[in-house]
Amino acid sequence: MSGAGIAFAGSKLDRADNVRSNPEQLAALQTWRARLLRLDGLTPLLTPEGGLEWGTLADAAPDSDLVFLGLDGDRGCFAEVPAPLGGSVAPPDPRVWQAMMVLDAADLATYGGARSLVDWHARHRFCARCGAPTLLAKGGWQRNCTNDACKAEHFPRVDPVTIMLVEHQDNLLLGRQPRFPAGNYSALAGFVEPGEAIEEAVAREVLEEAGVRVRDVRYVASQPWPFPSSLMIGCHAMADSADLTIDRTELEDARWFTRAEVAEAVAAADRGEAGQAFRAPTRTAVANHLLRWWLAQG
């Protein structure tokens, strides 16, 4: 399954890594023709037509850092990291969910990348090694420690998360966390831990959360998820048993759903409704695409 149609994937900007490393080229792009993505903190500002709002570099505060997002043709595109911005790992502003409903795929992907990058800079103004201030480098794709005795280089982080469909005898295992709205079920998910392969993370998370041992793990699709900066790695695995032992500290519930129940729930989600057996994730979530992929395999 390709990334087509997956939210936050598909930006049309040229990331231009060669430009990031060239201070002269970067400086040459910072003209009146450059575009500045307009943000309210980490929330996108939209035009009346429902697109991303762009300004000029003159709109940025003098003490802000400028992050190079990429090239739109021959024009540089930037985002601002205001000095007062502290970044956030809290749930996103409700306006972000509204923007997700109206932005086209390319704009949403551009915003998602910018949000992750701006948020990372706002939260990493000091060196994690020695505590000294850091300065933006490589157009915003690196920060360098200013302490000559340290000189550590820091890079924007991406946190890998496995999200997996578990199948047994043509049924799917889905779960719900306590924070989910009533009736919502989704694929199980969890962060990949240090020293762990993706396949190992899938097996461990499913065993920990639902008490199910899985095999034949395979990759299906991925999704950038900029809250604050995760990469959702969608997988499928087979279970040898349907017996569940649910970790109630992780999940409020987990259960098996038939192919017919999944198909009806996905169709209902397309209408903005809850299915008879459960409410499926929306199209903005890679879990929705995983469910559609599984149904298409049937």
**Count of beta carbons in the 10 Å neighbourhood of residue 293:** 16
Total-model pTM = 0.94
pLDDT at 92: 81
Q: What is the mean pLDDT of residues 1-24?
A: 87
Please name each of the domains of the chain with its CATH number: 17-123 (no CATH), 159-297 (3.90.79.10)
pLDDT at 226: 96
Q: What is the mean pLDDT of residues 213-233?
A: 97
pLDDT at 88: 81
pLDDT at 1: 53
**Count of beta carbons in the 10 Å neighbourhood of residue 233:** 21
Query: Assign residue 169 a region: left if phi > 0, alpha if psi is -120 to 50, beta otherwise?
Result: left
User: 136 has which bridge partners?
Assistant: 143
pLDDT at 239: 98
The answer to whether 139 and 26 have CB atoms below 8 angstroms apart is yes
pLDDT at 4: 54
- Res 193 pLDDT > 60: yes
The answer to whether 51 and 104 have CB atoms below 8 angstroms apart is yes
Q: List, for residues 20-31, the tens digit of each pLDDT value.
A: 999 999 999 999
Under the banding of pLDDT at 50, 70 and 90, the label for residue 87 is confident
At 109 the three-state DSSP class reads helix
Q: What is the mean pLDDT of residues 166-172?
A: 98
- Res 283 pLDDT > 70: yes
pLDDT at 298: 83
pLDDT at 93: 85
Q: For residue 228, is the peptide bond before it cis, meaning its omega torsion is within 30 degrees of 0?
A: yes
- Res 121 pLDDT > 60: yes
Q: List, for residues 52-71, the tens digit of each pLDDT value.
A: 999 999 999 999 999 999 99
Q: What is the mean pLDDT of residues 174-195?
A: 97
Token reading at 213: 């041992």
∠ CA 224-230-236 to the nearest 5 degrees?
75
Residue owning tokens 């024009």: 75
- Res 207 pLDDT > 60: yes
- Give percent of the chain above pLDDT 70: 99
- Res 42 pLDDT > 60: yes
The H or E element that residue 99 is part of is helix 94-102
Window from 93-102, 229-238, 240-249, 254-263 with minimum mean pLDDT: 93-102
283: nearest Cα among 298, 295, 272, 296? 272
Interatomic CA distance for residues 21 and 152, integer angstroms: 17
